Amino acid sequence: MTDQDAFTGSPANPEVDAYIRKLEHPLKRLIEEVRALILQSGVPLAEGIKWNAPNYSHQGEDRLTFNLRGKGGAFRLIFHCGAKVRSDAREGRLIEDDAGLLEWASDDRAILTFHDAEDAEAKKKRLAGWIRKWVEAAK
């Protein structure tokens, strides 16, 4: 199965469905909303579980991973280019964030933290665009 097949045939992975059903988190509803936005971003992503959290890959390369162990009940969505440092990485941040909502761990690793529903509104509106730009820039 290719990433495209996984996206168009069944955007939600049953393994992740089961993981979310069992998940106990104060922001579970928001996690489900963010998951839906990722799957509806218009980018063919394969969903799975990696590092004990939902993970999204494009053409076999990891690009987004939830981190659900944030302080104070928050959770994070990590934008990355896989676990290994790439030798062909370009200089400068991978995408622009004019709103200043992404936290940059490095030029090819950004973190989007969701603290509560109110905090998430501006971030959710930009999420699909960030995903499209990230996947394109990370090729």
Query: pLDDT by residue (tens digit) across 67-107?
Result: 998 777 899 999 998 755 555 555 677 778 888 889 998 88
Largest CA distance in the chain: 41
Going by C-beta distance under 8 Å and a sequence separation of 6 or more, which residues neighbour residue 80? 62, 63, 64, 65, 108, 109, 110
Listed range (4-13, 20-29, 43-52, 55-64) with the worst mean pLDDT: 4-13
Listed range (14-18, 44-48, 99-103) with the worst mean pLDDT: 99-103
For the question of whether the overall pTM of this predicted structure is more than 0.95, the answer is no
SS3 98: coil
Quote the pLDDT of residue 3: 44
Residue 10's pLDDT band (boundaries 50, 70, 90)?
A: very low
Q: pLDDT: is 79 or 11 the higher one?
A: 79
Inform me whether the pLDDT recorded for 48 exceeds 90: yes
Inform me whether the pLDDT recorded for 46 exceeds 90: yes
Quote the pLDDT of residue 15: 96
User: Stretch 123-129: mean pLDDT, rounded?
Assistant: 91
**Dihedral angle sign, alpha carbons of residues 70, 73, 77, 83:** positive
CA dist., res. 24 & res. 8, Å (int): 29
Residues of the chain with pLDDT > 90, as a percent, come to 59
Quote the pLDDT of residue 100: 82
Residue located via tokens 């104060």? 26
CA dist., res. 16 & res. 34, Å (int): 13
CA atoms within 13 A of residue 44's CA, in its CB half-sphere: 11
